[in-house]
Structure formats: C-alpha cells, structure tokens
Structure 1
Amino acid sequence: MAKRPTLTTDSGMPVADNQNSITAGPRGPVLMQDFHLLEKLAHQNRERIPERTVHAKGSAAYGTLTITHDISKYTKAKVLQKGKKTEAFLRFSTVAGERGAADAERDVRGFALRFYTEEGNWDLVGNNTPVFFVRDALKFPDFIHTQKRHPKTNMRSPTAMWDFWSLSPESLHQVTILMSDRGLPQSYRNIDGFGSHTYSFINARGERHWVKFHFKTQQGIKNWTNAEAAQKVAYDRETHQRDLFEAIEKGNFPKWKFSVQIMPESDVDKHWYNPFDLTKVWPHKDYPLIEVGTLELNRNPKNYFAEVEQAALAPSNIVPGIGHSPDKMLQARIFSYADAHRYRVGVNAHQLPVNRPRVEANDYHADGTMRLEGKPYPDAFYEPNSFNGPLEDQSYRDPPLKIMGDAARYNHRDGNDDYRQPGELFRLMRPDQKEQLFNNYKAAMEGVPVEIVTRQIVHCYRADPEYGLGVAKALGIDFKPQTIAAE
C-alpha cells in the first residue's frame, strides 16, 4: 500500500496533530499560538465567495465540440473548421433562484458554454430559450430585482414579477415560453441551448455575416407539469444535478446537435423585425438551420467549487472569426459579465485552471488580489517597450462596421411589434399545451392584484385572442375585449 502524503499547513509545514487544539491544560482555554487552528477557522470563514446575482445555482460538465460540416465560407475561426475537436465546458443553471433553490422550478435555464480553442477561450453565454425578457440592458437590473426577494417580506413576489412583465410588452415572447410546458424541464440533458444574441462571423476574406447559435438536445425535450415537479422537489432538490452527474458517470454522455442560422450583413434592414433584438427570433423559413457539428458532455468536474463556482464565463471572450453585434443586451453583457466575475471571484479569476486558456495569454495586466504568477518578461511591464514584450497584430483586425445616427435615448417600444411572434408561438401549440399554458398562468399569478392580471391578459389577447381569453378564463377574470379595441 502506497505511503499516504503528510498533512501540512498552507505554507507546507507538516502538521503533527490535527485532532486537538493547543490549550492551557486539558480543560484550559485555547492559546492564540495555535496557528494551525486559526488557519483552519480563518479559511473556513472565507470558503464561500459571493454567489452570482443571477444564475446562482448551476451544474456543469466537460466535453468535446466536434465539427462535422464545412462553414469556412462564413468564418475563419479555427474552432469551427471541419474535423476540429475542441475541449468544452458547459454550465447549466436556473436564473432566478439562489444557490439553495430547487432544480425543478419554473424558470429559464442558463446554457453557458466555453470552448478552450487554440486561439483562446470562446465563451457562448446563453439560455435554453432563443429570446429574453428585455431588449435594452438599462431594464435588466429592474427585471432581476423582480425575480429576487421582496425587501420587506424577504419572499419572492409574484406581484413584482407580473407588474414588471405587464408593463413591459416586449417580455411577452419569453413569458409565453416560460409559462409553457418548456418552462419546467425534467433535466438539463433534455433542453435545447441557444446563444440567444446575434453574433458575427468573419471569414478569411474579411466578410461579415450575422449568426445565431443553436444546440438541439439529442435526448429529446422532456418537461414536467407543476404537480410533477412539486412531487420531485418534495424528495430531491437536486434533480437536475443528480441526473447530469449520474448520467455522465454511467457513460451515458448527453449530446446536442450544433447548428447556426446565417444572415448576410446586407439583410439587416429587409425584415419587419430588428435582427439584433433579443426579444425576437429569426424565422427558420428565412434563415434555415445549418448543421455544424456535435457537442458531447463526457467528464464531470472533480471539485465543484474550484471548477464550477469559480468558473467565470463572459461573452467578451471571443476568438478571431467570431465577433459581436449591435444587440443592445449583448453590448452591455460584454462589460457586465466580466465585471461581475472581477467582483465575485477576483480581478485575476482568469488565471484559475477552469478559466485559464489552453494557450499562452500575454497581456500587461498587473498585480491585484490573488495574482498567481509573474510575467516571463519582467522588464516589459508597459507598452510600448524596448524589451521584447508582446505586440499587437493588425492581421486580426475585424472589418469595419458601419454605424450612423444621432446619439439619443430612443424609445425601443416605438414601432416595435411585440405581439406577432408570441402569437405565432401560441398558435404552434397543441390544444393540451395551450391548456397547460393557461393553467401555468393561473398558478403563477395567484395573489397578484387584478389590475396587473388584466394588464397582462391584454398583452396575451393582442398576441392572439384565444391566448388572452384562455388566460382570463383560467383565472376567473371577466375580460371584455371591446375595452381595448380603441387603445
């Protein structure tokens, strides 16, 4: 039997006794000189870092992205060339709940991907829905406040949620998905994933295309009713975590088909919708899915805190051949995600193993809490310099994006049809799915003031009369459509 390693302090000093504190006699008080005791207690006090403001509860696994189709005419990104296999990391999450929340709750699911490419880390931080509740990040903090605890009652507030949604018609598309059967998936293996935002591809000729990313589950979509989920939560708050971990441990590796939608740069003004609006989808009849490859998860993390809680994914992490777009929400997330990690994990979070790229990173960042190492060129700690420090490379420059207009605060609701796509989604539902949608509204709106309920019903009715009348009937509201005809 191999000799076991010797227990040490953080500094590497061997520990002689890890069972007993140093005291003044067998019954005496503990002495301050017991530095081993103090080190253990002090470290325990700091074992928790601030949880994520959103997506606090998550599960994750490693895997592989395999590219099986040629899309080189759209992008020069090496990670997306046919035949390429790249290590991946995928963190699933719920959006609204704290770390102790149950997995089986009606909520949007986070679908945050990292690819450790030969050109650096590429992070695609999305959800299991192709749209979101708001299109302007100025409203994002307000929205998230409604999902958290009421400052007086310290409980979740359905009134706050529905008050915000009913005053924000652009949220109807996402709310319709959330209240449908897909708002309560059975497991993380049984959801689709989306980049949600519009991104850009740059090809070798310097041409830009707009792109949407899709990951379709090969395990099939499976959902629970409210009653089924309540039964699960009564016995297990970790249903999704357990399912993902155990499936991978058994070798039952989940897979997703990776596809993209491609829009020529010149098509931006050809549609009734804004292609950069996060509350809208691109119709597949206009931009059909193009298959790219397969994502497989096949390895569980060895330490959840080190590899999942400290994971710092951000849409600012892109690689040559993949870029951003004028999507207002994406533009804000480029800053906010990376900044959240600087606060939550630390300014040097990028040096931790789960966040560290698999290629050499060369920058001029200095110092900060938990700096793990110095630079290989100590004299070149500024730029420009004469000491062989890293230099810019103009060959990676993206083609210019034409932007024009007067700087102002434009009303994003003016001239924006926020009812067409929710109505189309509703009409795709089977009768039993519609009935479940109505009942889910009823369950979610319990105790909400009638004027807020009625305001939301008006939005549903404008999307499709059957939608509004069905919600009204389920809630026992005497809704008269003629009252909104003149509005």
Structure 2
Amino acid sequence: MRQPPITTASGIPVADNQNSASAGPRGPLLLQDFHLIEKLQHFNRERIPERVVHAKGSGAYGSFTVTHDISRYTKAKLFNGVGKSTVTFARFSTVGGERGSADTERDPRGFALRFYTEEGNWDLVGNNTPMFFIKDPIKFPDFVHTQKRCPQSNLKSPTMMFDFWSKAPESLHQVTMLFSDRGTPDGYRHMDGFGSHTYSLVNEAGERVYVKWHFKTQQGIKNLSAAEASRLAGADPDHAQRDLFEAIERGDFPRWDVKLQVATEAELAAWEARTGWNPFDLTKVWPHKDFPLQPVGVFELNRNPDNYHAEVEQAAFSPANVVPGMGYSPDKMLQGRLFAYHDAQLYRVGTNHQHLPVNAPRCPFHNQQRDGAMAIANGGIAQNYATVEAAGSRPSGLGHGEPGLALHGAAGRYDGRGGEDDYTQAGNLFRLMTAAERQNLFDNLAGPLSQVGAEIVQRQLGHFDQADPAYGAGVRAALQARAR
C-alpha cells in the first residue's frame, strides 16, 4: 500500500524528510528548518505520564449483548430488551508495575470496561478479584507506595509490602487471593472480572437495589505456576498483550458471561446483622449462597485498536461515569475513586481528555465546559453558561433521578479496625483450595517472606493462624524448607 506524501502537522508538504537544512554541506543546522524543529519537538513530548497504577495494559473493542431482562432493577436503556447490543471498550492491566514491566508478575489485574450507551458512557472499573487490600481511600497512596519502588534502593521491597499488610488485617483476604494460583493468570482471556465495589441500580419506579457485577470467562480459568510466570517474564514479558491481540486477530473472540448479585437495603441490613460484615466494605465479598448470581448478558471482544497510544494509553476511565438507572453506594473506597480517577486523567492526559475519540460518548452531549488544552469540541457558538431558574429547579425526568440516600450519624472520622472480622472470609477462601493449591499458596508466600525481618514475619503469620491454623502452619513449613 502506497504511503501518502509526508506533511507537517499543519498539512504543509515536506520537501525532504531525509536531510536537515544546513549552512553548506557540513555547516551548522538552520533554525528555519521547521520540519526538523517540529519533528524533534513532538518526539520530545511523545510520552504522557504513565498511570500511577495500572500502567501496563492492553485493550480492545467489543460488544455487550443483553440475554436476560433486568428492567425490574434498572431503567438504564442499554438493558432495554433481550438481544440489544452496545459497543464497548476494555482495558486489562497489571497494577503495580511500570509500563515496561512483565505481564506475568504476581499482581491483581485491572478489568476496566466502557459501554458507549445512548445515554452516555458507563465505565465499570474493576479488577480480576472481587475484594481489595484496604477499606478506606485515605490509605490508598500509602498502600500503593509499598507496591512501588523503595525510595532509597529503587528496588521492589518485600519488607515494605509485608510491613503494611502485617499491620492491616483487612488486607488478608486479598493477600490470600494474590498469592494463590490466581495471582498469576495466564493472560487476560482466562480470568474473571469483577466490579468489586457495591453499586446500585434504580428502576422506573425509583426503587433502588444494590448490586455487584461479575464477568465469568467463557474461556475457562487458566493460571501460570510461579516458575512459568517467572520464565515468561524473561522470555516474553508481553505475554498477555500478545495472547489477547493474536486471539482477536485470528477471530477467536474472547467472551465473558455478565452476571449480577442483587440485594435490597433491608436484605443487606439483615445479612450484616447475622454475619457482622459490612456489605459496603471492599475487603469483603457477598457469598453466592446468600446472594446468588443472576445472568444479564454476554461481553465479547472482537476488534483490536488501530493505534495503541491513541486508543489504549489515552483511554481514561472513571467509576463516576454511570448512566441513568445506575448509582453508587456508601462503599468508602468507591467514594474515593469517584474523585481520584477523573482527577488522575485530568493530570495525565489533559483537561479535555473526554474529547478524544476513545473517551468521547457516542451520543450527543452538551455542557458549559469551555477552553483549556486540546479543546477539540469547544461548544461552537452555544452559550457557555446556564442561567439561574428563579422559581427553583424543576427536574426534567432525565438524568440519574436517584432516590435520596438516608444518612446516619454525625460527621467525623470512624475507625472500626480491630473490632471487625477480617479473618473469616480469608479463611473461607483458603478452605476452598485443593491441597495442591494450598501448597502453591504456602510456597508463593514463603518466597518474599523469607526476605523480610523476623518481627514482620511473625506478625503476618499471626494473621494466617487466625484465618485458619493450617494456613499459618503451612507457611511456616514452607519458610523452614527454604531455610534448609
């Protein structure tokens, strides 16, 4: 295929793209060679800041198709009618590593989905785990720093990681998942996804239910052993990217069954009274026996992006993006993310990142936001302000229209740590594992723990013991085996 003639970014034809303009054959270069200057200037600015977390990722386009009617729960139009299809975009990622890190590192995997609906973009920004390490966003920067590099050595530090985890029993549930076989999934096609947080749905009658979103892989769960993950980190550090891209290119489109757990506020209150677990605590899950999975639809990926930077690196998700018929919950971690994600993209990509094609809604939009860097869609001649409605606001019936959420208690800072059960669910997860899976868990934990000081090790072992005595005993045996 013949390439079109080279031009500057302003469309001016370039006479010579091989030689810089100079004063004589060997003389110094001329500042008037604008093509050279523009080329170097843009090259110097090709990299936008990488994501602080989820920096290494892969993406693709696809579709969501409704298979079951959930209109009794939500008025969101993307669910209107069995068979209805919505264009989607997905980005999968590791969490702690830099853009050049290996796809096979032991790490949670980001599972971020965008649905381009007729009512705006819905972003469901989750992970391949249904729980998380912490329950309050004020600790998120501290936690992430422990997963990054030591400020002195610039090396990853097991001591930093386990110093944090051993002082935060709430993390044990996710730590158990992370160091299990599911901590190193075999690519992105062979893992489940979760919205993780508790969200809400609102129907036409204004009735609210709380929900958790699940994406169950139709390809089957496949994980890498620790040894194979380490081998691939050297032999093919882009293993997950390559696997996803090549599968879609050959027409082997990956698919996930989309399912929901649903509960009313009264049902959650009764469950909390019985179990003692806060249903909005991100370190906990809703057991399926208490809240069964209900089918909703099928999510498929079937088209690779044409340009990685434009469509994957610049993709900017935010869990604040929910469409009418959807809402949030009192989950403290979700509340923090509603601010943090959009703010991160304002810094990383730019003030008008929502104008970029991968981020722009596929439906008409109108607001009074104007100007700033890269104002691709700047409102034309439309007025840039809305007047005050002197008689008071009159809801249009459009938009979210959520019912009011009752609030309880005085404004303040509340610390429930120490009085909450952070061990039972972690123990339940451990007891679900086969003998072989448990041994892998013990060995995977013994590796980094063997590099950590005795005080931290003993503190962490105490948490394993409280989850299940066999859990602590197994890690102790694995540590002793490594010391021989």
User: What TM-score, normalized by structure 2, do the two folds share?
Assistant: 0.95
Which residue does 1:22 correspond to in 2? 21
- Whole-Å separation in 2 of the counterparts to 1:69 and 1:377: 44
Cα shift at 1:12: 1.1
Cα shift at 1:4: 4.8
- Whole-Å separation in 1 of the counterparts to 2:476 and 2:417: 25
* Letter paired with 2:49: P
Q: For the Cα contact (< 8 Å) 2:192–2:221, is it kept in 1?
A: yes
2:362 to 358, 362, 377: 358
2:278 to 262, 271, 274: 274
Matches within 5 A, 1:30-429: 30-81=29-80, 82-270=82-270, 271=272, 272-378=276-382, 380-384=383-387, 393-396=396-399, 397-429=401-433
Which residue does 1:463 correspond to in 2? 467
- Whole-Å separation in 2 of the counterparts to 1:368 and 1:326: 33
Cα shift at 1:412: 2.9
| Matched position secondary structure for 2:106 | coil
Aligned residues: 472
Deviations 1:109-163 (A, max 9, x none): 0000000000000000000000000010010000000001101000111100000
- Whole-Å separation in 2 of the counterparts to 1:54 and 1:395: 35
- Whole-Å separation in 1 of the counterparts to 2:336 and 2:388: 33
Deviations 1:26-51 (A, max 9, x none): 11111111111000000000000000
Cα shift at 1:267: 2.0
Cα pair distance change 1:44/1:4, threshold 3 Å = closer
- Whole-Å separation in 2 of the counterparts to 1:156 and 1:235: 21
- Whole-Å separation in 1 of the counterparts to 2:432 and 2:397: 49
Cα shift at 1:404: 1.5
Q: For the Cα contact (< 8 Å) 2:122–2:322, is it kept in 1?
A: yes
Cα shift at 1:217: 0.4
- Whole-Å separation in 2 of the counterparts to 1:178 and 1:290: 26
Cα shift at 1:377: 4.0
* Letter paired with 1:65: F
What CA RMSD, in Å, does the superposition of the two structures yield over aligned residues?
Answer: 1.5
Cα shift at 1:374: 2.4
Cα shift at 1:394: 4.3
- Whole-Å separation in 2 of the counterparts to 1:67 and 1:376: 37
- Whole-Å separation in 2 of the counterparts to 1:195 and 1:283: 15
Matched, 1:451 2:455: yes
Matched, 1:472 2:476: yes
* Letter paired with 2:294: I
| Matched position secondary structure for 1:347 | coil
Deviations 1:432-462 (A, max 9, x none): 1100000000112231101101101100100
Matches within 5 A, 1:3-22: 4-22=3-21
Which residue does 1:483 correspond to in 2? none
Cα shift at 1:346: 0.3
Cα shift at 1:268: 2.8
Cα shift at 1:416: 1.0
Structure 2 residues without counterparts, runs of 5 or longer: none
Cα shift at 1:376: 4.0
> Percent of counterpart pairs with the same letter?
60
- Whole-Å separation in 2 of the counterparts to 1:445 and 1:116: 44
Cα pair distance change 1:4/1:301, threshold 3 Å = closer
Cα shift at 1:199: 0.1
* Letter paired with 1:25: G
| Matched position secondary structure for 1:399 | coil
Q: For the Cα contact (< 8 Å) 2:162–2:456, is it kept in 1?
A: yes
* Letter paired with 1:355: N
* Letter paired with 1:254: P
Cα shift at 1:392: 6.8
* Letter paired with 1:158: P
- Whole-Å separation in 2 of the counterparts to 1:121 and 1:167: 39
* Letter paired with 2:269: D
Cα pair distance change 1:205/1:243, threshold 3 Å = same
Structure 1 residues without counterparts, runs of 5 or longer: 478-487
Q: For the Cα contact (< 8 Å) 2:370–2:379, is it kept in 1?
A: no
